[in-house]
Structure 1
Amino acid sequence: MPHNNGSQALDRQECLRLLAKVPVGRIVYTRQALPAVLPVNFSLDPSLGLSPDTDSCVLLRTSADSDLARSVDGVVVAFEADEFDADAESGWSVVVTGRAAVVTDPAEHERLLQTGPRSWVTAQDAVFVRISCEMVTGRRIGQATDLR
């Protein structure tokens, strides 16, 4: 539905479709009692919705001893990804809010080594962080037909 400011709310399925198109987003979490934002590469894992309302999960790969892994395990975080065309003044943004968890099951870890995201940063002791898609919201601005 269009709004007065030229933005349009996106439904859940469109948000997930758009998220699957881009390789980088930002995780928003709490570090030392302050908000922190970290750009990360990611992928979606549609095979592991954690409840009937969560049909996808955001997956990150990081070092087991990273500040990120320690800070987000078991807590609610936000994850945002977007795509914009500054010349056309159009684009979209999607925000996922949900509980993050470090994957500890050995069989699941092995599966994700084959199918999950590849870290852009070398990590000897890689772990996967799963963010459940409990709340998914998105907006499109302008005539973003080329960004669909």
Structure 2
Amino acid sequence: MVDDVGFGLLLDRQQCLALLRTASLGRVIFTHRAMPAVRPVRFAVVDEAVVFAVPAGSPLYAGARDAVVAFEADDFADDFGAGWYVSLLGRATESPVDDAGVACLCPCPALNGRRFLRIPVETITGHRISCHSA
């Protein structure tokens, strides 16, 4: 189904989660010093939640932990003519390190000083876009 504002094919919840599982880089949108802030993160989808590593003393950790945040990931062709994007909302909470899939989130050998935040999917929306003419 094409949405009513021209953003392409509207995706259902399961299609959105499947696309998120194919990506490894997304953006967390949170509040920092009463202003919107965006940080890129490496992430994994664990069950129906996005999990990512973050330094414990960072503005992202302070602003996102126990707060409602937005998350977005996408993948587009080099010419931006085709691709997809998924956006979700959820309350970020600290996640145990033993969550499945978490080891790939931190490329550094030591996890010292890192915490893992988990955003359970409360609402999710996504679109598949194709701007090329047939």
TM-score, reference length from structure 1: 0.79
C-alpha deviation, 1:87, in angstroms: 3.1
Structure 2: gaps (5+ residues): none
What is the one-letter code of the residue matched to 2:19? L
Mark the CA change 1:3 to 1:70 in structure 2 (over 3 Å): closer, same or farther.
closer
C-alpha deviation, 1:124, in angstroms: 2.2
TM-score, reference length from structure 2: 0.86
C-alpha deviation, 1:6, in angstroms: 6.1
Cα distance in 2 for residues equivalent to 1:34 and 1:17: 31
SS in 1 for 2:128: strand
Partner of residue 124, structure 1: 112
C-alpha deviation, 1:73, in angstroms: 1.0
Partner of residue 97, structure 1: 89
Runs of 4+ in 1 over 6 A off after TM superposition: none
Partner of residue 67, structure 2: 75
**Alpha-carbon contact 1:20-1:44 (below 8 Å) kept:** yes
Structure with the larger helix share:
1
Partner of residue 42, structure 2: 41
Structure 1: gaps (5+ residues): 47-55
Cα distance in 2 for residues equivalent to 1:78 and 1:127: 18
SS in 2 for 1:42: strand
Superposed, 1:14-93 pairs within 5 Å as: 14-46=15-47, 56-87=48-79, 89-93=81-85
The Cα offsets for residues 57-81 of structure 1, whole Å up to 9 and x where unpaired, read as: 1001011112111111111000000
Question: Is 1:115 the equivalent of 2:104?
Answer: no
Cα distance in 1 for residues equivalent to 2:128 and 2:18: 13
C-alpha deviation, 1:3, in angstroms: 4.0
What is the one-letter code of the residue matched to 2:106? S
SS in 1 for 2:105: coil
